[in-house]
Structure 1
Amino acid sequence: MTELNIDCLNLIFKELRTDRVSLYPCLLVNKTWCSLIVPILWEKHSWCLYHETSEKKLFNIIISSLPSTSKQILTDNNINLPSTIISKPLTFNYISFCKFFESETIDKIIRKLFNDKKLKYNKRNLLEQEIYKLFVSECNNIKELELHTSRPLPSFPGALTFFSNINKLTIKIDCIEPNTLHEMAKFCIYLNELTVHNCSQDNSGLISLIDAQKNLKIVSLYPHNKKKICEGLREAIGRKGGTINNLCLYSINIIPLISLYSLERLLIYNFEYYGGNSIEMKKFLQYLEVSKFPNLQFLNVLGLVCHKELAMLIKNTEGNLLEISISSKRVKSVHVGIFIKSIADNCPKIKNLSFRITPEEFQLIKLILLNCRNLVKIKLDTLYYENDVIVGDELLDDLAKFSPKSLTKLTLSGNWKFSIEIFEKFLESCREHNLILFGITNKTHITEEHKTIARKYVSEGVINEFKILCP
C-alpha cells in the first residue's frame, strides 16, 4: 500500500482533533503517526478529562516534565514528589504542544497529587511557582490563557515568548498584582479577546494592559459586588474604540460607551446591583442615551428598564441592527411605545426581535411588521400576573395580515388567550410563508380545539412545529 505523506496525515488527524476515541488507537500505528497525533492531543483537549485515572496520568506527566533544577528545589524544601513520576527522559516535550492553559489545572495538580491540605502555605506557593515556571518556559505557542494567580509570571524565564502569542486572555483581577499586569503589557500586546472577572475598582495594571493592545476586538467585564464607577477603565476601553467590536458588560459600574464607533455587538446585563434611582444607574442611562454606534448589529439588554434610552441608541445606529433582545421584569408602557417606533423607523435590516410589551402596544407591532421586511424571528413577552389573561386576538390578527414572508419563527410568551377564529386565520396566513416554529407559553387557555387546528396545519406542512412552552 502506498504510504500517505506527512502533510496528508496531518490534515486527516487535525480533522479528527475532537474525536479523541478515534485518535488514541492511531498512536500505536507507528512512530510517524504517534509524532503527529501527540501534539494534537496536547493542544487543548487533553485538559478536558472527566475520568479521575486519566486526569492523574496527565498530571503525572506534567510533574515528570519539571526540569531537574525545579525537582531539586522541591526536594530541598521537603516537598516529596509523587512516587508515580517518570524518572526516565520523556519521549516528547509534551508541555510545549499546549496552546491553551488555565490556572485551575495547577490547582488540581496540587490537590490531587500532593494533597494540598497537608502542605504548608509556603510549600504550596513554592510548588505552584515551579509548575508555573515549567509552563512559561516551555509553552511557546499559547493562544488562550485563563489566569488567576498572584505568581509574577512575567518575571519567569520564557515569559516574552509565552505572553507574546496569546490572543485570548481571561483573568480574575483580584488575584493578580497590578505590577504583574504592567509587566505583561510590555509583550502581551496582540490580544483579540479579553475577559475580566471581579472588576470593582480601577486597576492601573489592567488599564496599562488594555492600552498596550494593537487589535483588541472582544471585551467582557464581570463585576465584583462593590458599587463603584471605574472611570479609568471606562476611558481605557474608550481609547480602543477603533478596534473593539464586541462588548459585554455584566455591570453598569463600567461605562465604556459613546466612543466605541466600531462596536457591532453590545450586551448589557444588570443583575440587580444597582437600583433605578441610584447615581450609577442615572449616569449609565445618560451615557446610553447619547451614545452613537453606527455599526451596531446585535443589541442584548437584560435587567434594565431603559426603553426610552434604547430608543435613542437605536436611532443612532444608522440602520445596521440585525438583532435586538431586551428582557426586563418591568416596563413603562409610554417608553415601550417610543422603543417600538424607533425599531420600526430605524431597523430596516432587523432579523431577530425579542422584547416585553403590554397590551397597550399591540397595535404598534404593525409598524414593525410593515417596515421591517427581513424579520425571521419574533419573540414577544408580556408582563402579567398569575391570574391575568391577555387577549391576543388583535396582535395575532396583525401578524396574519402584515407579517413579512421571511418570518419563520414566532414565540408568544405570557398568559395568552386567542379566539378560535383568529387563531385559525393566523395559521391559514402561514401558507404564504412556511412557519418553522410557532410557540406559545402557558397552556392554560390553549384548548383541545386550538391544538387540533394546529396539528392540522402541521400535518399539511404549513407550519413545521407547534409548541406549548413552559412558562
Structure 2
Amino acid sequence: MPCQLPADCLNEIFEYLEEDKPTLYSCLLVNRFWCKISIRILWRDIWDRIAHHYEMGEVSIILGTLVACLPNESKELLFRNEIFIPTSTSNPPLFNYPAFCKVLSIDVICRLIYKYFDQNNLQNKEYLVVNEVIKMFVNQNSSLKRLTYYWTCDIDPNDISFTCLSEAKVCLTDLSELNCTSSLPAEFFYQLSQICHNLQSFTIDIEEEASNDCSVSFVTLFLNLQEIKFLFLGGTKFEGFEKLQYVTFPKLQILNISYQVPKPEYVMKFLENNGKNLKEFYIGENNGALTLSITKFCPNLKKLFILFNNDELDILKAIFNSCQYLESIFFWCGKRFLGENEVLETVAEYSPKNFCELKIYNDTVTELLPEELESFFISWESRTPKKSLNLVIVKDLYDSLEVNEENMEIIKKYKNLALNLTAEFHEEIVTFLKILRRR
C-alpha cells in the first residue's frame, strides 16, 4: 500500500520549489492532495506572474477566475450594474484562491480590469469591479505582508476606498512592506498610518506633480522602518526631504535614493541622524561633500553604491578605511568617473578584509588593459586573509558593455586556476544608471 507524506512534510518540501515555478506547476497535476499544498504557495504572490499576461484571452481567464471567487453579494452588484464577466465554469472554484495571498497588488488588478473593459467597449464602471475584487482580498485575508499600489491607468484612485473597510484594519495590521506612488490621495496615506504599525520596508515613487509633504509626513510615522527607498521621477528635486532630514529611524538598515536626489545637504543631515545603523546605502549622486560624509556617519556599511568623480580616489580610500565592514561596492566607471584600473588597484590595496563583491558598470568601451586586469588578480590572490571575490560586470540591454576579448581570456585563466574568483557577466536593466547617464 503506497505511503503518503504528511501535509506538513510535503509543504516544507514544496517551499523549496517556490522559485522553481515549472516544477511547482507540475505538482498541481499529481493529485488533489499535492494540488492543495502547491496552490497555496503559487497564490501567495501571484501578481508578478499575472502582470506579464495582458493578451486579451489571458486577461479574460484571469479576471474570470477572480470574479468566480467573488461572494454572491458582489456578483449581484455587478449584475445590477449590467457588468457581465464570464467565468470558465458555473461551478464554484475548487479553492478559495484570495485567501492564500500574502501580497496585494492594486495596480495589477486595476490594469487587468481596465484592459478588459477597454477591449470590450465598457466604460465608466471599472471602479465597481476593482472595489469588489479588492474587497474580496481584504475580507479573505487575515494578514497581508506586502501592498503594491501604483497609479498606472485611467481608474481614478479616489474611486478606490478599500482602506475604509473595517476588515482592512485586520488584514493590514501586520503589513511589513509598502510600495506605492506619492500621487495617491492624502486620505490613503492617512488611513494606512492609522492601521499599519509594523511596517518595515517602504518604497515610494515621488512624482513631480504630487503633494510630497503628505508622503513625507506618512513616512515619519513609521519609526520602525528597516528599509526606505525613494524613486524621484520626472527630474524633480524633492524639497519635501527637507523635513525628513531631521527624523531618526532607529532600526533603519537600508537607504536607497535612486535617480534624482534631494539637496545633498539634506541627505548629509539624514545620514548624520541615521547613518550609524545603515548596512546598505544606494544613491545616484556624485557630490564630493556627500560622498565624504559617508566616512563620518556610516561606519557599519556592508553594501554601497555611489558615484565617484574622477578626482575622488582619495575619498574612496577614506571610505575603505572608515567602513571596515564593507563587503560590496558598485562602481560606475568611465567618462567623468573613476577609471576601471584605478578602481581595481584601490580595491586590491585598500578594501577591508571582509570585502568580497565588486560590481562595475561602464557605458563606454572598456580601456582596461589585460596586464592591468591580471595585476589585479595577482594582488587579490596575495591578500591576507584570502577571500573569494565575486566580480560582476553589469551591462544593460541598451548599451551593452564592450568586453575586451583579451581581458576575457585573463578572467578565464584565473578562474581555471581556482584562485578563489568567480566572474559573472550579467545582462541587467539598471534603470537608474540609464537615467543618470542622461543628466
Deviation of residue 293 (structure 1)?
1.4
- Counterpart contact for 2:59–2:116, Cα < 8 Å: no
CA 304–124 in structure 1, closer or farther in 2 if over 3 Å, else same: farther
Q: Report the Cα distance in structure 2 between the residues aligned to 1:21 and 1:219, rounded to whole angstroms.
A: 33
2:77 alignment partner AA: I
Alignment deviations for residues 96-126 of structure 1 (CA, whole Å, 9 cap, x no partner): 11112212331343145434572323x1233
Q: Report the Cα distance in structure 2 between the residues aligned to 1:12 and 1:327, rounded to whole angstroms.
A: 41
CA 242–81 in structure 1, closer or farther in 2 if over 3 Å, else same: same
1:161 alignment partner AA: V
Aligned to 1:356: 339
2:404 alignment partner AA: N
The answer on 1:142 being equivalent to 2:144 is yes
1:101 alignment partner AA: L
2:121 alignment partner AA: K
Q: Report the Cα distance in structure 1 between the residues aligned to 2:28 and 2:379, rounded to whole angstroms.
A: 62
CA 286–68 in structure 1, closer or farther in 2 if over 3 Å, else same: same
Deviation of residue 252 (structure 1)?
1.5
CA 26–401 in structure 1, closer or farther in 2 if over 3 Å, else same: closer
Q: Report the Cα distance in structure 2 between the residues aligned to 1:269 and 1:370, rounded to whole angstroms.
A: 23
- Counterpart contact for 1:294–1:316, Cα < 8 Å: no
SS in 1 for 2:73: helix
Aligned to 2:349: 369
Matches within 5 A, 1:366-445: 369=349, 372=352, 376=356, 400=378, 403-404=382-383, 406=386, 441-443=403-405
Q: Report the Cα distance in structure 2 between the residues aligned to 1:37 and 1:208, rounded to whole angstroms.
A: 41
Q: Report the Cα distance in structure 1 between the residues aligned to 2:17 and 2:295, rounded to whole angstroms.
A: 49
Alignment deviations for residues 395-425 of structure 1 (CA, whole Å, 9 cap, x no partner): 9668757841626659799xxxxxxxxxxxx
CA 205–140 in structure 1, closer or farther in 2 if over 3 Å, else same: farther
Q: Report the Cα distance in structure 2 between the residues aligned to 1:47 and 1:39, rounded to whole angstroms.
A: 16
Q: Report the Cα distance in structure 1 between the residues aligned to 2:346 and 2:229, rounded to whole angstroms.
A: 36
Alignment deviations for residues 134-187 of structure 1 (CA, whole Å, 9 cap, x no partner): 22222323212211241232113411123212212110222x111210111111
CA 143–305 in structure 1, closer or farther in 2 if over 3 Å, else same: farther
Deviation of residue 27 (structure 1)?
4.4
Aligned to 1:299: 304
Q: Report the Cα distance in structure 2 between the residues aligned to 1:466 and 1:290, rounded to whole angstroms.
A: 29
Deviation of residue 75 (structure 1)?
2.8
Deviation of residue 246 (structure 1)?
0.7
Matches within 5 A, 1:330-345: 330-331=335-336
Percent identical pairs in the alignment equals: 22
The answer on 1:172 being equivalent to 2:181 is yes
- Counterpart contact for 2:280–2:304, Cα < 8 Å: yes
2:192 alignment partner AA: M
1:11 alignment partner AA: E
Aligned to 1:40: 41
Aligned to 1:101: 104
Aligned to 2:328: 323
Q: Report the Cα distance in structure 2 between the residues aligned to 1:454 and 1:316, rounded to whole angstroms.
A: 28
Q: Report the Cα distance in structure 2 between the residues aligned to 1:289 and 1:17, rounded to whole angstroms.
A: 38
CA 73–299 in structure 1, closer or farther in 2 if over 3 Å, else same: same
Alignment deviations for residues 311-368 of structure 1 (CA, whole Å, 9 cap, x no partner): 5972894533223333254558xxxxxxxxxxxxxxxxxxxxxx5367xx69x94796
SS in 2 for 1:185: helix
TM-score by length of 1: 0.68
CA 64–469 in structure 1, closer or farther in 2 if over 3 Å, else same: closer
CA 124–322 in structure 1, closer or farther in 2 if over 3 Å, else same: same
Identify which of 185, 203, 214 aligns with 1:195. 203
CA 310–64 in structure 1, closer or farther in 2 if over 3 Å, else same: farther
CA 317–192 in structure 1, closer or farther in 2 if over 3 Å, else same: farther
Aligned to 1:347: none
1:323 alignment partner AA: S
CA 323–457 in structure 1, closer or farther in 2 if over 3 Å, else same: closer
Q: Report the Cα distance in structure 2 between the residues aligned to 1:112 and 1:296, rounded to whole angstroms.
A: 44
Identify which of 281, 288, 295 aligns with 1:266. 281
Q: Which runs of 5+ in 2 are unaligned?
A: 152-156, 394-401, 428-439
SS in 2 for 1:220: strand
SS in 2 for 1:74: helix
> How large is the RMSD of aligned CA atoms in angstroms?
4.6
SS in 2 for 1:43: coil
CA 375–203 in structure 1, closer or farther in 2 if over 3 Å, else same: closer
- Counterpart contact for 1:249–1:268, Cα < 8 Å: yes
Aligned to 1:62: 66
CA 258–16 in structure 1, closer or farther in 2 if over 3 Å, else same: same
Matches within 5 A, 1:65-214: 65-78=69-82, 80-84=83-87, 86-115=89-118, 118-121=121-124, 123-149=125-151, 150=157, 151-174=160-183, 176-200=184-208, 203-214=212-223
TM-score by length of 2: 0.72
1:322 alignment partner AA: E
CA 306–158 in structure 1, closer or farther in 2 if over 3 Å, else same: farther
- Counterpart contact for 2:281–2:301, Cα < 8 Å: yes
CA 177–303 in structure 1, closer or farther in 2 if over 3 Å, else same: farther
Of 128-137 and 456-465, the range deviating more from structure 2:
456-465
Q: Which runs of 5+ in 1 are unaligned?
A: 271-275, 333-354, 414-439
Deviation of residue 457 (structure 1)?
7.6
- Counterpart contact for 2:44–2:101, Cα < 8 Å: yes
CA 315–68 in structure 1, closer or farther in 2 if over 3 Å, else same: same
- Counterpart contact for 2:117–2:126, Cα < 8 Å: no
